[in-house]
């Protein structure tokens, strides 16, 4: 009785243990596989296109000249015909503030107004032809319960023109900054007038002085629309749809490669003022850029012409955060991204809209109707900067002289155009890998062959252990040695270093030929397993020479170091921390790995094959070459692939031993930035969940996928090899 109870308990324990082992084991394995799934999960949001949901809220508001919403989309500001800037609470429709901003005369009213790109000022034209610029600042206050309330902050209003000058103005552009106001007006006859109000601050007197200047921009064409680029370069479109440009001194700039199109119906600058959008009657959108050129004035070129068309295109709504825009037409709008040059989505709008605005936080779309009603639509921009074009294709960036692959994810300001091409990083990774494998593969495979086939038990074991020890050296140490020891050392003895392997091979061959000529009796005295000891003095001497005299030899040949000579003669860039340094440092990491695995493959060749070959009269070397090598080939290929995987993912060495500039160049004397090093540098700084964060996750996924595929292939090869044995 007692016994059976005991046995029952034992069986119960056994069942439970089995359950836990299964659960734990499977759990661990699933958890590990989850890593890949998680990377995919973080990357997926990148492919969502911008979305606009069903209408969420409507409010009745007075009719205005210009209107918009504040940061939290809880208040709406309106500029009335009467020159008052008013603030309304959206939930209740109540007015909470009223600022008589523009001093109008009797009978005068505002007819047109424009919002600055950064939404901190408004320019407006009155019926009497006067131009005003007023600051727009909605202040948010919090009470004790953190409820928000809003008010307008009043500020200096600039009045630029006396009565009547700008009468009948339909189009204009203006820019307000600390240095004053610049405005260009399109007169009814199609000519241009330029106004500048320069504000200078005298810090000693703590005074500001203003000077006003008026000039005309001469053109024979009839202009219909104008917009400013950076530094107040002016772009204008004629009534025929042509594009013209001027610099701030009113000199004509060259406009290149812009095919003529339909008449222009809308024009707008994007944030950063590096691009101007041009919308045409037939619904096409062009993105214009200005290119700096090394000599001469900059040019204006066509960045992209967007494929899709918006019927009745008449206005743009731009974002104040990124280069996303809406091209708004009669009954709908296109959502586009300027850097990528792609239209990402289209949606419908009510027919009688008068202003459309993307809310400052990009979470809402505010549509003001002609009867004053405000409609709010939830808006999800997604990650429009990131797409196949911006990741893998050449892109014409603002301020760049030609389309290029560039990684430069963050810049000095919020208005920076992110450049997220993965091409330079992938090229960098491959370049580093290539230079690591170049010396490693022959060294590791031949070394493994010799160790496996010609060395006796004890020596072989100790060499294997030593190589295994070498493979344990942390990569941070290799990176540090590469950067602080190898890089400066290689700098003055580059050529000597490059020639040393060649010299060694030739000397070894000569030695081999001499050895073959020796009478068999003497040859027999040096056993094959000891051949490498024969070479020791030679190799020791050569490496000592290279280390101590390399720079002198190079100086003797070139008069200076090869680096300076090559830089002067061929105009080659020679960075101190270059790909060759990385290759050498990474060789220390990759060679032992390939060596160990290849040695296993050579050892696994069945004995009977080797013995058969020897019995048929093959020499040891013939057996190694013709029997062992072919037989072990899959295993050796697998070893190389695993080495490749290690080199691709290596982080610290490439981080430390190169300059980490992201360039798409194969020149081995220049550095590079690898995917892995880029992750280490940029991910800690990337805001959680943002486009950069997810793009970096994408590059991690690429690394993961690449090494996973490579390793699986290698594993399959090895498995087949093992089965064959």
Partner 1 sequence: MTKPQAGPSLGQFKPDRAGHMGLLVSAGTVLTVLLAAVLLFLLIFSRGARTFWPRDLNLVRHVDGRTFLAEVLDVREDGSVKMRTGNRDLDQERRDFFIFNEAEITLEAQPENAVWVERLEHGPVHAFFKAVRMPNAEGSDGEFSDSESLLVFQAQVAELRSQYAASQTQLGRMANAENDEGIRAAQQESSRIRAELTRYGMHVELPNGHAHEIDGEDVVKVIFPNQLGAQEKVGVWFGQLWSFITAGPRDNNTSGGVWPALIGTSLLVILMSVLVMPFGILAAVYLNEYAKASVWVNLVRIAVNNLAGVPSIVYGVFGLGFLIYGVGGFVDFIFFGEALPKPTIGTHCVLWASVTMALLTLPVVIVATEEGLRACPLPWREGALAMGATRWEMMRKVILPAARPGILTGLILAVSRAAGEVAPLMLTGVVNFAHDLPIDGTAPFVHLNRQFMHLGFHIYSVGFQAPNVEAAEPLVYSTAALLLLLILLLNLTAIRLRFRARKALEQ
The three-point CA angle 696-698-591 to 5° equals 85
- How far apart CA 163 and CA 519 sit, in angstroms, is 114
Shortest Å distance, C-beta 194 to partner 1: 49
Measured from the CB atom, is 118 or 508 closer to partner 1? 508
Shortest Å distance, C-beta 111 to partner 1: 47
CB neighbours of 203 closer than 8 A, spacing ≥ 6? none
- How far apart CA 321 and CA 553 sit, in angstroms, is 58
Shortest Å distance, C-beta 692 to partner 1: 13
Shortest Å distance, C-beta 669 to partner 1: 21
Measured from the CB atom, is 329 or 583 closer to partner 1? 583
- Residue spans of beta strands (DSSP E) within 306-433: 315-318, 324-328, 332-337, 342-348, 353-358, 364-369, 374-380, 407-408, 419-420
Shortest Å distance, C-beta 557 to partner 1: 15
- Which pairs count as long-range contacts for 717-722, CB under 8 Å and 24+ apart, including other chains? 717/634, 717/635, 717/637, 717/638, 717/641, 718/601, 718/634, 718/635, 718/638, 720/634, 721/601, 721/604, 721/632, 721/634, 721/635, 721/638, 722/604
- Residue spans of beta strands (DSSP E) within 521-579: none
Count Cβ atoms below 10 Å from residue 488 Cβ, excluding itself. 12
Shortest Å distance, C-beta 689 to partner 1: 8
Residue 134's nearest CA partner among 168, 88, 87, 100 is: 100
- Residue count (the chain): 725
- How far apart CA 563 and CA 550 sit, in angstroms, is 13
- How far apart CA 534 and CA 540 sit, in angstroms, is 11
What tokens appear for 329 in the block? 């037409």
Measured from the CB atom, is 47 or 55 closer to partner 1? 47
Measured from the CB atom, is 251 or 611 closer to partner 1? 611
Shortest Å distance, C-beta 197 to partner 1: 43
What are the strands of the beta sheet with 110-115, ordered from one edge? 110-115, 121-126, 131-135, 158-159
β-pair type (84-89, 75-79): antiparallel
What tokens appear for 62 in the block? 């007075």
Measured from the CB atom, is 127 or 500 closer to partner 1? 500
Shortest Å distance, C-beta 412 to partner 1: 21
- How far apart CA 403 and CA 183 sit, in angstroms, is 31
Measured from the CB atom, is 320 or 658 closer to partner 1? 658
Alpha carbon 693 to chain centroid distance? 11
Q: Tell me 253's DSSP state.
A: P
Shortest Å distance, C-beta 384 to partner 1: 22
Measured from the CB atom, is 275 or 451 closer to partner 1? 451
What tokens appear for 226 in the block? 């104008």
- Residue spans of beta strands (DSSP E) within 3-127: 51-52, 57-59, 66-69, 75-79, 84-89, 95-100, 110-115, 121-126
Shortest Å distance, C-beta 483 to partner 1: 7
Shortest Å distance, C-beta 642 to partner 1: 6
Shortest Å distance, C-beta 27 to partner 1: 8
Measured distance between the N- and C-terminal CA atoms of the chain, rounded to whole angstroms? 54
The three-point CA angle 399-400-402 to 5° equals 140
The three-point CA angle 506-508-509 to 5° equals 65
**Cβ 635 vs Cβ 604: under 8 Å:** yes
- Residue spans of beta strands (DSSP E) within 441-596: none
Measured from the CB atom, is 317 or 436 closer to partner 1? 436
Shortest Å distance, C-beta 416 to partner 1: 24
Measured from the CB atom, is 96 or 443 closer to partner 1? 443
Measured from the CB atom, is 516 or 521 closer to partner 1? 516
- Residue spans of beta strands (DSSP E) within 474-607: none
Shortest Å distance, C-beta 598 to partner 1: 11
Shortest Å distance, C-beta 596 to partner 1: 11
Measured from the CB atom, is 18 or 609 closer to partner 1? 18
3-state secondary structure 260-302: CCCCEEEEEECHHHCEEEEEECCCCEEEEEEECCCCCCCEEEE
Name 216's bridge partners.
193
Shortest Å distance, C-beta 508 to partner 1: 5
What tokens appear for 312 in the block? 């009745």
Measured from the CB atom, is 10 or 239 closer to partner 1? 10
**Helices 579-603 and 457-471 sit at what angle, rounded to 10 degrees?**
140
* E strand or H helix at 149: strand 148-152
Shortest Å distance, C-beta 480 to partner 1: 5
Measured from the CB atom, is 48 or 523 closer to partner 1? 523
Residue 651's nearest CA partner among 624, 678, 620 is: 678
Measured from the CB atom, is 43 or 76 closer to partner 1? 43
Measured from the CB atom, is 160 or 586 closer to partner 1? 586
Measured from the CB atom, is 410 or 622 closer to partner 1? 622
β-pair type (234-238, 243-246): antiparallel
Measured from the CB atom, is 259 or 537 closer to partner 1? 537
Place of tokens 């081999």: 512
Shortest Å distance, C-beta 397 to partner 1: 27
Measured from the CB atom, is 47 or 446 closer to partner 1? 446
């Amino acid at each position: 009785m007692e016994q059976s109870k005991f046995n029952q308990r034992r069986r119960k324990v056994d069942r439970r243990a089995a359950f836990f082992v299964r659960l734990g084991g499977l759990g661990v394995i699933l958890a590990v596989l989850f890593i890949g799934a998680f990377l995919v999960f973080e990357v997926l949001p990148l492919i969502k296109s911008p979305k606009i949901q069903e209408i969420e809220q409507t409010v009745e508001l007075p009719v205005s000249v210009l209107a918009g919403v504040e940061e939290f989309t809880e208040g709406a500001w309106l500029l009335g015909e009467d020159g008052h800037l008013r603030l309304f609470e959206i939930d209740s429709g109540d007015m909470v503030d009223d600022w008589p901003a523009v001093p109008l005369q009797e009978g005068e009213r505002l007819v047109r107004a424009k919002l600055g790109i950064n939404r901190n000022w408004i320019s407006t034209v009155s019926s009497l032809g006067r131009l005003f610029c007023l600051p727009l600042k909605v202040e948010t206050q919090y009470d004790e319960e953190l409820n928000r309330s809003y008010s307008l902050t009043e500020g200096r209003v600039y009045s630029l023109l006396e009565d009547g000058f700008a009468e009948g103005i339909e189009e204009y552009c203006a820019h307000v900054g600390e240095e004053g106001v610049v405005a260009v007006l399109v007169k009814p006859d199609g000519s241009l007038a330029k106004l500048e109000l320069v504000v200078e601050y005298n810090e000693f007197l703590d005074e500001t002085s203003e000077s006003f200047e008026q000039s005309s921009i001469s053109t024979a064409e009839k202009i219909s629309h104008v917009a400013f680029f950076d530094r107040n370069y002016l772009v204008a479109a004629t009534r025929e749809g042509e594009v013209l440009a001027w610099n701030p001194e009113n000199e004509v700039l060259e406009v290149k490669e812009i095919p003529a199109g339909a008449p222009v119906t809308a024009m707008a600058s994007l944030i950063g003022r590096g691009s101007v959008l041009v919308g045409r009657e037939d619904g096409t959108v062009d993105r214009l850029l200005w290119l700096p050129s090394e000599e001469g004035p900059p040019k204006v070129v066509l960045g992209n012409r967007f494929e899709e068309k918006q019927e009745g295109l008449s206005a743009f709504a731009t974002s104040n955060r990124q280069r996303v825009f809406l091209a708004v037409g009669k009954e709908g709008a296109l959502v586009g991204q300027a850097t990528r040059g792609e239209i990402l989505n289209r949606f419908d709008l009510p027919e009688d809209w008068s202003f459309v605005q993307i809310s400052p936080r990009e979470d809402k779309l505010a549509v003001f109707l002609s009867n004053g009603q405000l409609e709010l639509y939830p808006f999800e921009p997604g990650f429009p900067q990131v797409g196949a074009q911006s990741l893998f294709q050449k892109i014409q960036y603002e301020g760049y002289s030609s389309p290029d692959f560039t990684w430069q994810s963050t810049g000095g300001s919020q208005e920076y155009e992110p450049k997220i091409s993965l091409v330079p990083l992938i090229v960098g990774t491959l370049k580093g890998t290539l230079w690591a494998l170049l010396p490693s593969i022959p060294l590791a495979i031949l070394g493994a062959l010799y160790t496996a086939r010609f060395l006796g038990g004890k020596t072989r074991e100790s060499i294997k252990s030593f190589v295994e020890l070498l493979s344990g050296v942390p990569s941070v140490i290799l990176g540090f040695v590469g950067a602080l020891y190898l890089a400066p050392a290689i700098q003055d003895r580059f050529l000597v270093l490059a020639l040393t392997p060649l010299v060694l091979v030739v000397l070894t061959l000569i030695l081999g030929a001499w050895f073959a000529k020796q009478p068999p009796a003497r040859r027999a005295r040096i056993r094959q397993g000891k051949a490498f000891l024969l070479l020791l003095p030679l190799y020791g001497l050569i490496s000592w020479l290279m280390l101590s005299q390399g720079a002198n030899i190079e100086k003797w040949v070139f008069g200076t170091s090869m680096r300076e000579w090559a830089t002067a003669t061929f105009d080659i860039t020679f960075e101190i921390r270059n790909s060759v340094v990385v290759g050498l440092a990474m060789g220390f990491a990759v060679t032992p790995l390939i060596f160990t695995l290849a040695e296993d493959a050579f050892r696994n060749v069945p004995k009977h094959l080797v013995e058969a070959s020897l019995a048929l009269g093959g020499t040891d070397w013939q057996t190694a070459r013709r029997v062992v090598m072919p037989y072990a080939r899959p295993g050796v290929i697998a070893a190389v692939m695993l080495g490749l995987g290690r080199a691709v993912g290596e982080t610290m060495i490439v981080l430390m031993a190169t300059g980490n500039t992201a360039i798409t160049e194969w020149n081995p004397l220049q550095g590079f930035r690898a995917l892995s090093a880029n992750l280490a540098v940029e991910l800690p700084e990337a805001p959680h969940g943002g486009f950069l964060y997810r793009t970096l996750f994408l590059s991690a996924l690429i690394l993961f996928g690449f090494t996973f595929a490579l390793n699986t292939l290698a594993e399959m090869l090895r498995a087949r090899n093992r089965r064959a044995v």
